[in-house]
Amino acid sequence: MGSCSVDSGVGSTEPPRSEGAGSAGAGSGIADLIWTGNVNDSYAIRGSVGLYDTTLRDGEQTVGVVLDPDEKLEIAKLLDELGVDRIEAGFPRVSDDDWQAVAKIAAAGLRAEVWGFSRAVPADLEALVELGVQYSVIESPISDLKLDAIGVSRETMLERIAKAMRFADEHGIHAAFFGVDSTRADPAFYGRVYETAVENGAKEVVVVDTLGIASPEAVRDLVGATLQYVDGLPVHFHGHNDFGMATASAAAAVRAGATWVHGTINGMGERAGNANLGEVAIALRALYGVETNLRLDRIRAVSERVRELSGYALEPWKPVTGDTLYRRESGAVASQFHDPPSIEPYSSELVGAERSVVLGKKSGLDSIRIKAKELGLEIAEERQAEILAAVKALGVEKRRLVTDDEFRKIVTGV
């Protein structure tokens, strides 16, 4: 994939020029903070891709999550500062709160493009016009499973899609057609759908793996075919994580020529969630040489705030944002703690994290030395093994890590 950069992302159908994804401070090159070696060189994609965030719409579908308009505005501002290129502000027709949120975000003067979400029905589209939203995805189910479930024929759905796209075009809305359950649609009908959308005014299209069922290889082929159907117009990929493949599928979509990838902060979303934008961005940059505008050094702070507002927790071992990503308990690893590239694939500086050694059952003598130095404690060499044994015993007894205060007490004999 070649570089898809233009002068500005605003009002553009292509992703904005990369400004140095994951900036980690002046004078620090991102390549110096990535330690993956050359095993991936033969598979590099290069170029750049735009990131489209749907945390405020698809992400809020996470079970139990409710965000009010002011909270959504706060998150939108955080996303803007994070470097997200397009922010889906919400589905204004779903509730009064969503209407207000879209209105607030659209009026916030963000650098990012603000997108709406609409079904291919007149009332939804009229709401976008009333709100003055200039960009929107317009969705329609297109798999036979979905069409049968709602009792709509293929021909009727094609008519709805054509009418919706013409309405958007006539009212100055830059629309991307969003074919729900794209990956389970009949291939011949899929082609007709996307050709119809473009013929009637769609400016971009989205390949949608609604249930996360497509392998990366299938995503690659479908994105490639879609580019042919739409004569080279921008193609997005919207993936879910039901089989844990969302990041891999996003990379496959970019390899095939997708210029926009959809996702959410923390991968939040219904069922197994959406593609995780932070994970997608670091994988594309570190493994494939594809630039994005995401500020990786800010991703952990944004992740934490979105979690606070949404009221859920993450597995501590999550890539990029996990609490234990740079915390080392193993004594074998602690022995190499002084040499980060030997035990980490990318620098803590890259993602704005702090490295630390913690004590517990799996600690070693190097763990004891590092922690003692950190806390300003003097330990004679002949006592280190004794203290290590006490730390291990306490970790087993408590079935948790040993705190710094507990370690001090062990060292001082209290």
Beta strand 113-119 with 50-53: parallel, antiparallel or unpaired? unpaired
pLDDT at position 21: 45
Provide CB contacts within 8 A for 73, sequence distance 6+.
101, 104, 105, 108
The pLDDT value recorded for residue 194 is 98
- Token duo for residue 366: 């190097």
CA distance 405 to 233: 60
In this model, does residue 5 exceed pLDDT 70?
no
338 contact partners, CB below 8 Å, separation of at least 6 = none
- For residue 10, what pLDDT is reported? 35
Contact assessment for residue 205 and residue 177, using Cβ atoms and an 8 Å cutoff? yes
pLDDT at res. 324 = 95
Beta bridge partners of 405: none
pLDDT at 18 over 50: no
What percent of the chain stands above pLDDT 70?
Answer: 93
* pLDDT at 200 exceeding the cut of 90: yes
Q: What is the pLDDT of residue 14?
A: 55
* Closest to 40 (Cα-Cα) out of 302, 286, 349: 286
Gap between the Cα atoms of 367 and 355, Å rounded: 13
Residue 89: enclosing H or E segment and its boundaries?
Answer: strand 86-90
Look over the chain and give the mean of its residue pLDDT values, rounded to a whole number. Answer: 93
Q: Is the pTM of this model over 0.95?
A: no
Indicate whether 230 pLDDT > 60. yes
The string of pLDDT tens digits covering residues 156-180 is 999 999 999 999 999 999 999 999 9
The whole-number pLDDT of residue 19 equals 45
Residues 6+ apart with CB under 8 A from 375: 404, 407, 408
Q: How far is the CA of 263 from the CAs of 23, 157, 268, in angstroms?
A: 20, 26, 9
Please give the share of the chain, as a percent, with pLDDT higher than 90.
91
25: pLDDT strictly greater than 90: no
Q: Which helix (H) or strand (E) holds 180?
A: strand 174-180
Among candidates 254, 250, 275, 235, which has minimal Cα distance to 53? 275
Give the range among 21-35, 275-289, 349-363 with minimum mean pLDDT: 21-35
**Mean pLDDT confidence for 359-377:** 96
Contact 362, 399 (CB under 8 A): no
Q: What single DSSP character describes residue 121?
A: S
- The pLDDT tens digits for 96-112 are 999 999 999 999 999 99
Dihedral pair phi/psi, residue 9, rounded to 5° = -80, -25
Helix (H) / strand (E) containing 220? helix 216-229
Residue 160 DSSP one-character state: H
Residue 181 has pLDDT above 90, yes or no: yes
From 317, 410, 412, select the one nearest 359 (Cα to Cα): 410
Name the token pair of 174: 């830059």
Domain boundary assignment for the chain: 40-310, 327-412
Give the confidence band of 152 by pLDDT, cuts at 50, 70, 90. very high
Class of the domain covering 40-310 = alpha beta
